[in-house]
Structure 1
């Protein structure tokens, strides 16, 4: 078969071999491109001899390539697709379309390809440029991972709310639940749908990843309902998360006041007092304490939360020295002649008058909050709208300050430790997943290893929780300006003494702005 014959050469095919006979010089290799485009079935693979033949024009018949097959197949190794390259001109394809389609169908049958044949491609979309996908398997649909949803606890963000008649200092403090209340649920993973290859073999779907729902089995029960696992409270109490597990904590609710009828309160758990605490009585709890009377408290002996927060909706009228202490935070409408000490932060809605305040950070409402008289001691920052008053009552604000470089290093170490523990936790979860597939089939030794792994998981959850609490505390401190900050939102009055680290400033004029320590100097913005 002769492909091209001109004044320079003859290009022909004999028994699938391409030959060229050059008898006149002056034709370059680049000039062959239009011919090759017209006959895509030609494959030139002997360029050295071809170039030499064009230069020498010896008239000798030289092998320069071979003819490609009309149909060049590519069947994917996973048998999910079959594609074909048609080596001919577009004109040839148009004039021989039915024959080429027939050849394709014969080749498909010869290769046992019976599924997913794309007839619309064969009939209307075949082309000579690039490959044509003519058969496509059905991909498996992998299963959905298990989905777990837990009760969302309220954010402890106090706010001053106005209803046109009065202002209220309020917040969602404790999330109370009753026996049987919803606490969470798990939608199990799905199996997915099998796929099929172009040769008719089934392709297994990957089952969705299972997840373990974490809950305290002493206070929360798991019930199967409508294909889900639903968590419900076993007792009345408050929602808590202990070591990554949801639980219902002990909750003592006092409908009225703490006084002669109740005596002093000591409770392992959280306490809600819907009334007030009368003079000379005390409340101690291991967790949170909430006093909801808008009358507040006065001259109490002590309010003490060992590990939690204290919320006093109506404020404190000291009369004498009222001791309010919290392992974490204190939220109070106002404080008169009182002692407040918190492991984390103190939040005051309206004002503190002649009180002693000590915490890592001390905040008042940015528009209405005032610190008047007394001593205010913080580790990282103090922020108030107003400090002091027109009567120039002596107010001392002391911020201990910190070393930012050291704190950043401590934060980095904490983050690395957190990452390491989370990776350890993930490995432990994978280990437990293996055991849980064979629960009921484990021998004594395997059961012991399973229980040991569960205890390790719980320990890691608790450890990660405490590391994360430390991370939050460090980041909160690092949010302070410089290495210790006192921010005055509206004004500070004369005779106010500010101290950050070892640097002190006594105000002689009305002042507004931020004082902060940096490079052993006291700066003001």
Structure 2
């Protein structure tokens, strides 16, 4: 079939192949673009041969390409859509529109496409050159993942507040709950909605991933309410997180003072004293201790948290004998002639006067906090607004310092182990998900393996919690400048003696700034 004939050449097709015979020179390869526009079906495959034929015009019939089908049907691999491309001219489409639509429908039928055919598009919107969507399936609506929410514990971030009469040191320390109080909930995953392929087959949705509520079954109940699983306290107590699980910890609340009526307190759990602690009495607890009297405590024998934090809202008048210790942190408004020792950090809102303080890091309020007299020992950093006083009271600040490279190595090892445990936990979760689908069909051996896998999950969660706590502690240490830091935000007075690692500095003049150790040198910023 002759496609094009002029004084220069004959362009013809045979069995879908296209040939050209050139008789006369003078027809440029660039002019051939007009031929391509006239015949959209034409696909050139041998451009170099065509160019040579037009230049030499030796009258030899050569192959230059092939004819594309007028209609190209493209079906998506997922059978969710189909589109068509027309390789013809606008004139051809206009003159043969009904026949083309009929051919398209025949092709769809051959491919078993019966759903989502866009008849409006077929009848009115077909175009040449570009692909046009002509069938669209219904996408499945994938299920939503389970949503787990827990009671949000208060952040232990003390602040010095003013009420117009006096400053006071305050923060949300213990979160008390009563039996039946809400502690969390789980909205189960949804199954989603079926879709449909253009072939008529169902498109299955992906079910949402389930999530497990992690809670202590001895102190918290999981109850189905309005399609949700709700966690409610089984006992009165304080909200805690133990080994990655939310729990209600034992809590002793004393409405008044600790004294003759109560005797010394030794409690397995957390203790709140809403009054004060009388002279020569003590409070010991395995968990957190909170003493809320704005008058503070005076000349107590001992306040000791074996595993948690201590918060004394009104401060301590120790008379040189009182001892306060905590496995983690101590928060106190002021410390007057007492002994404070914390496994992590000591936070002082107002001042420390003539006291012995020992912790990883020691902080006072950056605007008003003072360290006057006594001995202050830290591992990483000490930060205070004022050190010493105008009377030049002797104050000793010692920072033992650390090896930053070794600490960084420890952090990297901790992070690697943390990631490994997370990966192991994900694997355990996948196993439990599979078990969960067949719980009713498990034999005795399978049930035993299922229980062992759950225990393994609990151990991993506990390990991850401990590693995360260690990570935060190391990061806090690395927040120090150099390899040990003492920061004076307002002023340090003469007779203040500073030591970082083995390097000492006695202040003879008022000073403000940061001292830090690096490469066995003491620097000042």
TM-score w.r.t. length of structure 1: 0.97
Displacement, 1:92? 1.9
Displacement, 1:326? 0.1
Equivalent in the alignment of 1:283: 283
Aligned equivalents of 1:146, 1:15: Cα separation in 2 = 60
Equivalent in the alignment of 2:381: 381
Equivalent in the alignment of 1:22: 22
Aligned equivalents of 2:45, 2:221: Cα separation in 1 = 75
Query: 1:326-365 to 2 correspondence within 5 Å?
Result: 326-365=326-365
Aligned equivalents of 1:195, 1:476: Cα separation in 2 = 52
CA contact (8 A) 2:38 2:89 kept: yes
SS in structure 2 opposite 1:440?
helix
Displacement, 1:17? 4.0
More displaced stretch, 224-233 vs 162-171: 162-171
Query: 1:145-160 to 2 correspondence within 5 Å?
Result: 145-160=145-160
Displacement, 1:16? 3.9
Displacement, 1:61? 4.0
Equivalent in the alignment of 1:57: 57
SS in structure 2 opposite 1:102?
helix
Equivalent in the alignment of 1:463: 463
Displacement, 1:76? 2.1
Equivalent in the alignment of 1:306: 306
Equivalent in the alignment of 1:272: 272
Aligned equivalents of 1:54, 1:333: Cα separation in 2 = 97
Displacement, 1:29? 3.5
CA contact (8 A) 2:337 2:354 kept: yes
Equivalent in the alignment of 1:141: 141
CA contact (8 A) 2:489 2:513 kept: yes
Equivalent in the alignment of 2:161: 161
Aligned equivalents of 1:104, 1:429: Cα separation in 2 = 50
Displacement, 1:62? 4.0
Equivalent in the alignment of 2:402: 402
Equivalent in the alignment of 2:132: 132
Aligned equivalents of 1:263, 1:66: Cα separation in 2 = 103
Equivalent in the alignment of 2:107: 107
Displacement, 1:428? 1.0
Equivalent in the alignment of 2:174: 174
Aligned equivalents of 2:324, 2:49: Cα separation in 1 = 99
Equivalent in the alignment of 2:486: 486
Structure 1's 417 and 12: CA in aligned 2 closer, same or farther, altered over 3 A?
same
CA contact (8 A) 2:400 2:501 kept: yes
CA shift digits 1:121-147 (9 cap, x unpaired):
223432212212211111111100001
Aligned equivalents of 1:172, 1:49: Cα separation in 2 = 85
Equivalent in the alignment of 2:393: 393
Displacement, 1:49? 5.4
Aligned equivalents of 1:60, 1:477: Cα separation in 2 = 86
Equivalent in the alignment of 2:477: 477
SS in structure 1 opposite 2:407?
helix
Aligned equivalents of 2:303, 2:60: Cα separation in 1 = 111
Aligned equivalents of 1:68, 1:126: Cα separation in 2 = 18
Instruction: Structure 1 unaligned segments of length 5 or more: list them.
Output: none
Equivalent in the alignment of 2:322: 322
Equivalent in the alignment of 2:121: 121
More displaced stretch, 35-44 vs 264-273: 35-44
Aligned equivalents of 1:52, 1:314: Cα separation in 2 = 99
SS in structure 2 opposite 1:25?
coil
TM-score w.r.t. length of structure 2: 0.97
Equivalent in the alignment of 2:511: 511
CA shift digits 1:316-346 (9 cap, x unpaired):
0112310100000000010110000000000
Equivalent in the alignment of 1:217: 217
Displacement, 1:429? 1.2
Displacement, 1:12? 2.4
Displacement, 1:47? 4.9
Displacement, 1:113? 1.4
CA shift digits 1:5-37 (9 cap, x unpaired):
222101123454433222113334443222012
Displacement, 1:269? 0.6
CA contact (8 A) 2:320 2:339 kept: no
Equivalent in the alignment of 2:520: 520
CA shift digits 1:342-363 (9 cap, x unpaired):
0000000100000000000000
Aligned equivalents of 1:2, 1:275: Cα separation in 2 = 107
Aligned equivalents of 2:454, 2:32: Cα separation in 1 = 74
SS in structure 2 opposite 1:380?
strand
Aligned equivalents of 1:62, 1:347: Cα separation in 2 = 92
Displacement, 1:102? 2.5
Equivalent in the alignment of 1:33: 33
Equivalent in the alignment of 1:45: 45
Equivalent in the alignment of 1:4: 4
SS in structure 1 opposite 2:206?
coil
Displacement, 1:168? 1.4
Equivalent in the alignment of 1:260: 260
Equivalent in the alignment of 2:415: 415
Instruction: Structure 2 unaligned segments of length 5 or more: list them.
Output: none
